Amino acid sequence: MTDFTTPDWVKDAVFYQIFPDRFARSDRVGKPSHLEPWDSPPTVYGFKGGDLLGVLEHLDYLDDLGITAIYLNPIFQSAANHRYHTQDYYRVDPLLGGDGAFGRLLDAVHARGIRLILDGVFNHASRGFYQFYHTLENGAASPYLDWFHFDRRRLETGRRPAAYPDVRDHDGSPGNPNSREAFGYRAWWDLPALPEFNTDSPEVRRFLFDVARHWLEQGIDGWRLDVPACIDDDRFWQQFRTEVKDVNPEAYIVGEIASDATRWLQGDQFDGVMNYLFTKACLGFFGGAALDRDLLPPPLRPVKDSLGAAAFARRMEELLTMYPPEAALAQLNLLSSHDTPRFLTLVQHRKAILRLAVVFQMTYPGAPSIYYGDEIGMAGGPDPDCRRPFPWDESRWDHELRDFFKRCIALRRAHPALRRGRLVTLHAEDGLIVYLRSLSQDRLVIALNNSSTTHHLEVGVADHLSEGERLESLIHSGSARVVAGRIIGPVLAPYTASVFALDGGSPA
């Protein structure tokens, strides 16, 4: 679409993803007595008691880090600690502080110029969702029967849906072939706790669109869409976009699509996607031989064998041309999420590799997203271990790593070329990648030495930089100069990066 535009603010944003039950707990939110100890290992069903006022009370922390946007995992009333089992789409979970806490948080983040997007779980609900529970009570007589995909033959014989099927028929594993027959309705991954909506129903569509509009009217800045490919209906998502943009044309719509998302990024559905293709490329190049492939979850499979510098450079350029330019600048570029082991764990706790990946993330087009705690060196394996509680005891933080994240974020925020400029690869060989980001007079050269070898920076730039131009390092001390059409610069130690700005450039 020639008129495809994405929210302008997203192009400049630095996101921070928060899993509400595990980020921070406020004494101002009443709690039940039976909570897991905050510092104990997370479990599949246990609650830690994190809440939205806890987030509010730590906004100074996020401000100091340089965050400009927050992505919250689901916050609506639910019987699950992750809240992807929605019971009431119009009510914030009381354990999180309820609607009042959310309103205070939203006002506080907006007062600081921070945006906030919510997780929209629109493919499936939960057994506690009112309309579904109504069908459990009334069977074929329920007026909400068309909201879900029931086995009508089962209902016609007088058998009601089974919300808690016999464990002999269902072992709780995704995709159990006996499960649908056992409980009589379609559920996401054949998990009985997650009945799927019948989005062909006009009533269901109206309900979901009204939910989307309601929270936008309350002031949220967009939606992250959970498993949207499971609603295999372009017209549904086209109408969703129309409804969202009608309330707020600058609202961000980002889908959880782990593969090629061309279908959804033509201007009539989403603005961007969670860029797992970016994540996989980073794991293949920066992780390389250090990558623990046995830990890779479905969204990150397959990661190809270790990517060399040239292959990675080609891939990062391909990802920029895969989608329209507006979508490319609105991708949510992540290294970790609640669905994956943390990047640091996947690369076997090699922090030098994480630092290289962060430099790349902050100097590449698209909106970088930090999963809470990555900046202080939090580790975590597969779910639920990747959802550990944030340790607010600062003696447990890697302060040097956090300071590095801060410098990289500040660098991105200071230079429009890193957010909106063009990218040109200057060199990609032997583990060394050098690329140029430029926008008008703001020009930066980024050098990443992802190898165990020391590299002397000497790269041809005759077509891009003028003879004699001087470049100052923005991360480490040192400078470089263009001599005989080549950048001549300092030594790059193994697994280090440098970002150089043209002396006399004009960052914002």
Catalytic residues: 226, 256
Say how far apart CA 422 and CA 442 lie, in whole Å: 11
Say how far apart CA 498 and CA 475 lie, in whole Å: 6
∠ CA 24-26-31, nearest 5°, is: 105
254 closest CA partner among 185, 327, 158, 148: 327
Number of H-type helices and E-type strands within the chain: 16, 18
Say how far apart CA 419 and CA 11 lie, in whole Å: 6
Work out the number of other CB atoms within 10 angstroms of the CB of residue 189. 14
Work out the number of other CB atoms within 10 angstroms of the CB of residue 55. 28
Say how far apart CA 506 and CA 508 lie, in whole Å: 6
Residue indicated by tokens 């990802």? 319
Q: Give, in order, the Cα–Cα distances in Å from 137 to each of 80, 161, 192, 227.
A: 22, 9, 16, 29
Q: Tokens for 498, please give them.
A: 């440098």
Q: Tokens for 348, please give them.
A: 């076997």
